[in-house]
Structure 1
Amino acid sequence: MTKGGGLDDSAAGQPHYHGHRDRLRERFATVGGAGLQDYELLELLLFRLLPRRDTKPIAKAMLERFGSFSEALGAPPHLLEEIEGLGPTAITDLKVILAAAQRIGRDAIQNKPILSSWSEVIDYCKAQMAYETKEQFRILFLDKKNRLIADEVQQTGTVDHTPVYPREVIKRSLELSATALVLVHNHPSGDPAPSSADIQMTRQIAEIAKPLGISLHDHIIIGRSGHASLRGMKLF
């Protein structure tokens, strides 16, 4: 019984967390996602995926294990499986949500001059790559107005190395009639500082591209702790 003499959730046959869910939904409707903590926003997602479970401890366990909302969604499935209460279906659904967020990010830079929406480009690259467990090398191919033609992952490597072949990069640029490029790759270690190999490869691509009328705008390295711009660091 409640203090007012009514039945509490459990006595009424409702799980104890139903009232909590309603209150959290009401808070979201009032203050939006920015007014919620990471575990609360994660709970809201899990409500739909796990309707018959108390999702608060699951959300907190995910954040304790992975560190942040983004890292929790970006964690590889085999590590998500270690969280008690997360099964294959819920994990797949989380990956669908992540893919949807990444698609929104891509749409935000589509049909816009890349150089005039640089912060959105960085946000997009972080969403795509920051939490990958292996290195990926991707290229943003641009037209003469610096609008995105294509975004392609050229190579996937190991935890600390991705083979990149400059002539293959240029060959694909010519196939797409691209006139400018932005190179992007991630460092799974979290530290975005460029290696000597990163710098050398960037210079090689820039040197081959220039006589063909293809500009290399930047090479961005993405890490969980931030990003590095080789152009900004004046390394090519």
Structure 2
Amino acid sequence: MTKPAEAQALPDPSGGDHKGHRERLRRRFRDAPGALPDYELLEMLLGIAIPQRDVKPLAKALIRRFGSFADVVTAEVEDLRAVDGIGDVAATALKVVREAAIRLARAPILNTVVISNWDTLLDYCRTAMATLPMEQFRLLFLDRKNALIADEVQQTGTVDHTPLYPREVVRRALALHASAVIMVHNHPSGDPKPSKADIDMTRVVRDALAAVDIQLYDHVVVGRKGHASFKAMGLL
């Protein structure tokens, strides 16, 4: 059976009462946005994407399926669409929220000396990567003054492995005329402790960059339980 393109195509079983509920919810949000639980914040977002229908049950279903608001907006589009009632419009709206959060977190570090704004950089990395369901490698390229000149996702892998090719890291660093690189990747398990494979791969990349006089400033692993810095741990 073909799934409906979007939940608003279905009849509204609430009899229209959800309109008053939405207005009350909007007032509560305006008065105290931080007081809303995850499912109600999600309900407000879905109400914009699916205006003709009571979306509270759908918001609760998403929270049950994925765990939290952050988990919902970082879920893969295919997984979101597997939830009955989520079509292209709603899935896109959820992904827009994630991208907006990433850009807001990145703004304070653009064209700044990231070494002097390390906590802000870590906040950005956690926002962008900590709740991702798959491993991802992000490379931050710095100029001679340690200002961020490029922020690029290099590879996306599986739940516990992401291939990173040292030659590609070196090639991109040279193309950008970078003087230093910060490697960042996430552990979907939540534990940021580097694995032996992480350590071995980092040293290979460090040596490849050093051969062309580019510094590997740090490798940061992020997860739900925090972060781990190779430099702080004495692994570089």
Q: What does residue 56 of structure 2 align with?
A: 56
SS in 2 for 1:112: coil
Deviation at 1:193, TM superposition (A): 1.7
Structure 1 residues 211, 87: closer, same or farther in 2, change over 3 A? closer
C-alpha separation between the residues in 1 aligned to 2:57 and 2:142?
A: 45
Structure 1 residues 14 and 64, CA gap change in structure 2 (3 angstroms): closer
TM-score, scaled relative to structure 1: 0.85
Among the aligned pairs, what percent are the same residue?
52
The code of the aligned residue for 2:18 comes to Y
Q: Distance in 2 between matches of 1:50 and 1:225?
A: 34
Question: Do the aligned partners of 2:129 and 2:136 also contact (CA within 8 Å) in 1?
Answer: yes
Q: How do residues 112-123 of structure 1 correspond to structure 2 at under 5 angstroms?
A: 112-123=112-123
How far did residue 178 of structure 1 move? Answer: 0.9
Pair 1:18-2:16 in alignment: no
DSSP 3-state at the match of 2:169: helix
Pair member with larger Rg:
1
Q: 1:57 and 1:119, CA in 2 relative to 1: closer, same or farther beyond 3 A? A: farther
Change (3 A) 1:225 1:64: farther
Q: Hey, what does 2:80 align to over in structure 1?
A: 80
- Partners of 2:230 and 2:151 lie apart in 1 by 19
CA distance in 2, matches of 1:41, 1:119: 27
1:199 aligns with 2:202: no
Q: In structure 1, what is the equivalent of residue 150 of structure 2?
A: 150
Query: RMSD between aligned alpha carbons?
Result: 2.1
Q: Does 1:30 align with 2:28?
A: no
How many pairs does the alignment contain?
223
Corresponding residue of 1:129: 129
Distance in 2, matches of 1:81 and 1:168, equals: 34
Q: Is the contact made by 2:72 and 2:94 (CA closer than 8 Å) also made in structure 1?
A: no
Distance 1:158 1:74 in 2: 15
Per-residue CA shift, 1:153-173, capped at 9, x if unaligned?
222233322222223322321
Whole-Å separation in 2 of the counterparts to 1:208 and 1:87: 45
Counterpart Cα distance in 2 of 1:175 and 1:208: 15
